[in-house]
Copies of this chain bind each other. A is one copy, B any other.
Amino acid sequence: MAKRKTLRSDIAWATPERIFIKGYDLCDELMGNLSLGDMAFLELTDRRPTPQESVVFNALALTLVEHGLTPSAIVTRMTLAGAPEAMQAAVAAGLAGLGSVFVGSMETAARVLQEALPDPKAEVDLDALAREIVAAHAAQKRPIPGVGHAFHKPVDPRAPKLFEIAEKNGFAGPYVTLMKAIGREAEQKLGKTLPVNATGAIGAIASELGLPWNIVRGIGVMARAIGLVGHIREELANPIAREIKTRAEEEATSHRR
């Protein structure tokens, strides 16, 4: 049996006395010195954040922790109702729905920005780039990512707050500028109020932090895992999953019974 490829991982390794993560000694260098959010940054970049990066990244991630009774939260609660001995499976089930419709949208925003501007240091006419992006999406009748919000109207309050935090910490660079330009251009082109939403702001600021678009969804996945544990805690104290299920079942089959 030939080894076609040597297995290699540089994330963590251990001796009986010491544990290393990305080259740091877990006990001596990380525990007590690094916050959970900064550890997440380390997982995504292989280095500890600067104080400014830390504020910005923690704000991004925190924004994604909790959205109340989302489909994911209901899924976690219903799964717990059937398998209370397997809390981890309830969180897992809740995460499974973080696909293209909800959390995936910020991946799309980051992707559009990074593909349009592969080198953030390049001198580019960002307004022209925004026009191209909006025109291309309109031509293919695809929604413009990162703008508008069905409920938070006229403005999604998270977006200006995230931009403010990014600017204060030196991360209001070309991706943020481009994202805002896309919002302005979309409003003009489509004649609607379409300010940048949380999704767009996160996609832009994650790009400023140097995170490649194909890992951006991961910020939402890790953050939501935290929030789903909070829903498990509330469901244990005040269960609502069965009531939601019973009402749905009764109404949906009332025409047949």
Given A215-B229, A252-B7, do A247 and B1 touch, yes or no (CB 8 Å)? yes
Contact segment of A68-76, A118-126, A133-141, A180-188? A68-76
Contacts of A215 in B (CB 8 A): 229, 232-233, 236
CB of A93 within 8 Å of the partner chain? yes
Specify how many copies of this chain sit in the oligomer: 4
Contact A16 B152 (CB under 8 A): yes
CB of A115 within 8 Å of the partner chain? no
Give the CA-CA distance A240 to B9 in the complex, in Å.
Answer: 9
Given A85-B85, A93-B96, do A247 and B10 touch, yes or no (CB 8 Å)? no
Contact B16 A39 (CB under 8 A): no
CB of A128 within 8 Å of the partner chain? no
Q: Which of A16-75 contact B (CB under 8 A)?
A: 16-21, 26-27, 30-32, 34-40, 43-44, 54-55, 58-59, 61-63, 65-72, 74-75
CB of A131 within 8 Å of the partner chain? no
CB of A230 within 8 Å of the partner chain? yes
Give the CA-CA distance A80 to B242 in the complex, in Å.
Answer: 20
A19 to chain B minimum Cβ distance, whole angstroms, is: 7
Contacts of A40 in B (CB 8 A): 36, 65, 226, 229
Given A4-B246, A14-B151, A231-B11, do A79 and B97 touch, yes or no (CB 8 Å)? yes
Q: Which of A165-218 contact B (CB under 8 A)?
A: 165, 214-215, 217-218
CB of A92 within 8 Å of the partner chain? yes
Given A75-B93, A78-B71, do A158 and B253 touch, yes or no (CB 8 Å)? no
Contact B257 A248 (CB under 8 A): no
CB of A221 within 8 Å of the partner chain? yes
Give the CA-CA distance A91 to B215 in the complex, in Å.
Answer: 12
